[in-house]
Amino acid sequence: MFPWEAPYHAAILEDDSLLAARITQAEEVITRRLWKMPRLQENEEERALAARVLASLAVLRQERLGTKPICERL
C-alpha cells in the first residue's frame, strides 16, 4: 500500500458532509508525493496508479460536488 492510499480511500468512502475536504486532502497528498518522487523506473507503477487515482478524484469531485479538480483551480 502506498502512503497516499489512505487519504484516497477516506475520500471515496466519505459521505457528502466532508467529501470536499477529503478529496482536497487526497489530491494534495498525492500531488506532493508525485512532486517528491524521483523519475526512476522503479517508481513508474506508483506514478501510473497515482495518475489514475487523481483522475478518479476529479470525476468524483465533478459528479458529486460540481467543482473542478485541484490541478484546474491553480
Residue 70 confidence class, pLDDT cut points 50, 70, 90: low
**44-58 per-position pLDDT tens digit:** 999 999 999 999 999
Three cell numbers written together for 14: 466519505
State how many domains the chain has: 1
Q: Could you list the residue range(s) of the whole structural domain that residue 68 is in?
A: 5-73
Predicted TM-score of the model (pTM): 0.78
pLDDT value at position 69?
Answer: 64
Residue 13 sits at φ, ψ, to 5 deg, of: -95, 0
**End-to-end alpha-carbon separation of the chain, Å?**
29
